[in-house]
Structure 1
Amino acid sequence: MKTLTLALCQINPSVGDIEGNFKKILFFIDEARKNNADIIVFPELALTGYTPEDLLFYPDFINKAKEGLEQIVNSVKDFIVIVGLPVKKEDLYNSAAIIADGKLIDFYHKIYLPNYSVFDEMRYFKPGRKISVYEYDEVVFGVNICEDIFHPSLPTLFQAESGAELIINISASPFYVGKYERKLRMLQTRSYDLGVYIAYLNMVGGQDETVFDGRSVVVSPEGKILCTGKAFEEDMILITLDMEDVARTRMREPKIRWELDFIENVELIKIPLKRKSNIKQEKISYFKSDILTEEEEIFKAVATGLRDYVEKNGFKRVCLGLSGGIDSSVVALIATEALGKERVTGVFMPSRYTSQESREDVYELVKNLGIELIEISIDDIFEEYLKRLSSAFKGLPEDTTEENIQSRIRGNLLMALSNKFGWLVITTGNKSELSVGYATLYGDMAGG
């Protein structure tokens, strides 16, 4: 049996932290090596984080990524590593480095550069033009990057028609509701139509407003899902593939036999290395992560985004105002789930209008979550505002002005705690309020 062991390293890099990302890559390489992986794969722009945006305009940043790659090359022995990074040639490319046995074998440059939604790759990169496949001890595989595999022809069809039995796609594909199911259908269709294994590796973690859900996947030549990575968590997906299954599938259903038989511009690059799977037969592993409901997906995405925003920006603790209402209670739960109860402080700021029920709800919530609570009454502060404004407001009825004063007092208190202790203030408004402007500027909009 001709087998190949893959290690898909679903990591959470930090944008700009090349040294930290490099160390994480080396750690995962070492773990995969211990498991006799033949090919060890990392996500799109894993070395720099996605997306570096205008950091890419600085030559020192590009050079530091190049130095990190050189160190990775030196650490690779009798196996293959594929890692994403920006590469400067005559222009800048979004690239995958193919490394084997201490040598840089090739670069694949991303062809389709997305320029919609959160993507702005045409601002920074030039599209690639070269397509290659790699022969590794009688196994032929191709490499492409994220958006490339969403297109049904170039480059995936070209690679499969040129002999690739496995397509490795490294990706940084952000989460949104419903996308994962559509992506699975696309990958299954692509595998079935081409009769190839597809190993799709996605990044995981939050970077500012963008969240990556991981959930990497390996699909068989019959279009069956063999395994998936964890959702919203770092993971290393190890799987041993029966590469002879590709030939069996293509003989039964030769769907691409007559496709593009005129192709001459796909380069075959030979990698002079023996597969470890030939040395020691591994059991083929088929495993899948749990299917999440829509509500679970959204909760995990928001918790992941919050956790990584806090961690990657160096905050030790967060605080938020608690009113006893649904919005602040849900935010407190998300913060506790993301960071742990010991890193969350709730702040209860009652006034003369606060009901006993609200007080009871706040204290019950804090008890259930096990978080710290600070209570600061705003009544005296509010009274002072009314006194100072009494002459200016003389003869006018109370309205939203007085309501907003209370909100801004609370916002000031939260920001004072943040300023004094270095905590991140979490705002507790919801998207419906934000979309219609039902919020108080400098009040309940304070925070992140």
Structure 2
Amino acid sequence: MKITVAQINPVIGDLSGNAQNILFAAKKAVADKARLLLTPELSLCGYPPRDLLLNPAFVEAMSMTLQQLAKELPADLAVLVGTVEENSKAHIAGEKPLYNSMALLQQGKVQQIFHKRLLPTYDVFDEQRYFEAGLQANYFTLDNVKIGVTICEDLWNDEEFFGKRNYSINPIAELSKSDVNLVVNLSASPYTSGKQHFREAMLKHIAMRFEKPIIYVNQVGGNDDLIFDGRSFAFNKRGELTCRACGFDTDLLQLEFNEQKQDLDIGFITPDYESEDEEIWQALVLGVRDYVRKCGFSKVVLGLSGGIDSSIVAAIATAALGKENVLGVLMPSPYSSASSIKDANDLAVNLDIKTTLLPIEKLMQSYDSTFTELFANTEFGLAEENIQSRIRGNLLMAISNKFGYLLLSTGNKSEMAVGYCTLYGDMNGGLAVIADVPKTRVYSLCRWLNRNEQVIPLQVLTKAPSAELKPGQVDQDSLPAYEVLDDILQRLINDYQSATQIVAAGHDAAVVNRIIQMVARAEFKRRQAPPTIKISDRAFGTGWRMPIASNWLIIKNAYQSETLSTPTFPSPEQ
């Protein structure tokens, strides 16, 4: 039996467009003599549809589109399509109105409906808000092959692999008892760095444990802050990788189920990425491309400071959209060094993007004049520094409004974590491209990008990072070295370590306490930030749900010592 995997990139809510993509894949599958076509979770509406599911008209339209798609599909091809199904028991107290489902379409009709059994409610997932869990094992028979159907999370509960169960049932174990010949898993699994290796290790274990071949189908594309990396794959029952689709792009993957061997034959395996930097780069490029496209934009604008953050964002945008669709804006102040202006221009030449120059000195003088009386007898400080950032933010927003360009903000995760950023200034934008990329990773990405030719000017990589808001300023006036800061933040944010554990790892207690306080106090800023492209398992945004008015991180999580010294760096903007 020939099987085609349609690794598609749906637009959320574009029911007609998504159906056409499925139909196109079906016609290609028939041309390749396939008998079964597999599509990702919620492929008809795109994942995640979130509160669109609360709109009855949207749910009704999805049902009508599914029925129409069934009529248009080739009659002799069986197709699994991700959709939602209304819960007939929704009137019962506590029952949710919908199921997250897969529909088997064949011979012009919806032949069977299968419901997702395990509903995740962690990180970015909130499926119990909308869906009722399915109660029975899902399978169907096609040409005497019994095929078990699972949907995304149904796969992620193997107690032998994880060492525990997060749910009371294991759908794969139940399907094994039903004596299925093949298991398919239809997913919309968001990307995080390194996750593909974990997925493949998990499926290899499951295939060998239950001696069942497994096909994993994943959505691809960027939807808001989430990136879906595709890389659909399959394992035979001996735990051998039999195929892998490409990453971060649509693909049609052909598989062969050998009915005599009751197993999958070895097919085409797309090579893995050579480095983590390459993988992250592909994710960020896809995230920018799809966010811009799916939000109805074609061009972007960003500020070019000559620093490393704006340089990498400009490079990502150019790769995603083409050089003709990127505008860099240089906004030097009296504190901007000549080398920074040169670095920004050199970058623009390397990328071949358009730039415009908007000096802000006269605007700064206007603000100084306005505040002369009110700010009399005070020292130059954060208020004056941040006015510069807000002037630049206003100029960029004006360009965005005037020409319909999407403004990209350029702050990295290290800065976002500790609040080293200015509300209504450098935080302005419609998309925060690298706000889940730590500063040390930004450097690593730039070095990777320069591996064959110099894209990021060498001076950008070697000079001390600085916001250049006052004479001689460098980031380390206010922050510890980024290698130190990023390790503390990794332990605190991603690894859930306490201050005591972080200090035990070798960090200075006073610095650790200060960073913890800064992370807590910056929550109000992050709440107002643009959407962040998620590349880690602990990104600011949808899956980050910290309170603003809280003293837990500041007081309760502090490292307790009678000999703590005062940190040598002051607080950024409060």
Same fold (TM over 0.5): yes
Say whether residues 1:69 and 2:66 are aligned partners: yes
1:180 corresponds to which of 176, 196, 200: 196
Deviations 1:369-398 (A, max 9, x none): 111101111111111111221222222222
Does the Cα contact within 8 Å between 1:242 and 1:284 map onto a contact in 2? no
Shift of 1:297: 1.9
**Aligned equivalent of 2:331:** 349
Cα deviations by residue, 1:257-294 (Å, 9 ceiling, x for unpaired): xxxxxxxxxxxxxxxxxxxxxxxxxx963333333422
Does residue 130 of structure 1 match 2:116?
A: no
Unaligned runs of 5+ in 1: 250-282
Q: 1:82 aligns with which of 70, 74, 80?
A: 80
1:78-157 alignment, distance < 5 Å: 78-90=76-88, 91-152=97-158, 154-157=170-173
1:133 Cα offset (Å): 2.5
Q: Which moved more, 1:109-118 or 1:299-308?
A: 299-308
Listed one character per residue, the Cα deviations across residues 207-244 of structure 1 (whole Å, up to 9, x for unaligned) are: 11111111111111111111111111111111223233
In structure 2, stretches of 5+ residues that fail to align are: 89-96, 159-168, 432-574
Query: What is the match of residue 403 of structure 1?
Result: 385
Select the residue among 429, 432, 439 that pairs with 2:411: 429
Look up the equivalent residue of 2:247 and give its one-letter code: A
| Partner residue, 2:256 | 240
Aligned length: 411
Deviates more, 1:318-327 or 1:389-398: 389-398
- Say if 2:12 and 2:46, in contact at 8 Å, map to a contact too: yes
Task: Report SS of the residue matched to 1:12.
Answer: coil
Residue 292 and residue 73 in structure 1: after superposition, are their counterparts in 2 closer, same or farther (change >3 A)?
A: farther
- 1:331-346 pair list within 5 angstroms: 331-346=313-328
SS across alignment from 1:93: strand
**Residue equivalent to 2:354:** 372
Letter in 2 for 1:22: A
Q: Which moved more, 1:18-27 or 1:40-49?
A: 18-27
Query: Is residue 2:222 matched to residue 1:206?
Result: yes
Structure 1 residue aligned with 2:29, among 28, 32, 40? 32
Q: Which residue is equivalent to 1:45?
A: 42
Farther off after superposition, 211-220 or 147-156: 147-156
Q: Secondary structure of 1:113's partner?
A: coil
8 A Cα contact 2:154 2:172, kept in partner: yes
8 Å Cα contact 1:95/1:107 also seen in 2: yes
What is the aligned partner in structure 2 of residue 254 from structure 1?
none
The residue number in structure 1 matching 2:492 is: none
Give, in whole Å, the separation in 1 of the partners of 2:341 and 2:171.
61
Aligned to 1:277: none
Partner SS for 1:118: coil
Q: Deviations over 1:62-118 (max 9, x none)?
A: 111111111121123111100101111314100000122223220010000111110
Separation (CA, whole Å) in 1 of partners of 2:269 and 2:382: 57
Structure with bigger strand share is 1
SS for the counterpart of 2:46 is coil
Are the structure 2 counterparts of residues 400 and 284 from structure 1 closer, same or farther at C-alpha, using a change threshold of 3 Å?
closer
Tell me the equivalent position of 1:167: 183
Residue among 17, 34, 57 paired with 2:14: 17
Structure with the bigger RCO (C-alpha within 8 Å, sep 6+) is 1
RMSD over equivalenced CA pairs, Å: 1.6
Supply the distance in 1 between the matched residues of 2:194 and 2:120 (Cα, whole angstroms): 19
Q: Deviations over 1:109-156 (max 9, x none)?
A: 000011111000001000001224222222221111001112236322
Match of 2:375 in 1: 393
Q: Is the CA contact (8 Å cut-off) linking 1:44 and 1:146 kept in structure 2?
A: yes
Is 2:244–2:268's contact at 8 Å kept on the other side of the alignment? no
**Amino acid aligned to 1:399:** G
Structure 1 counterpart of 2:76, which letter? D
SS of equivalent to 2:26: helix
After superposition, the C-alpha distances for 1:174-217 in whole angstroms (9 at most, x for unaligned) are 11122211111110111111222111000111111111111111
Deviates further, 385-394 or 220-229:
385-394
Kindly, what percent of the aligned residue pairs are identical? Answer: 43
Other structure's SS at 2:335 match: coil
User: What is the correspondence of 1:171-320 to structure 2 with a 5 Å cutoff?
Assistant: 171-246=187-262, 285-320=267-302
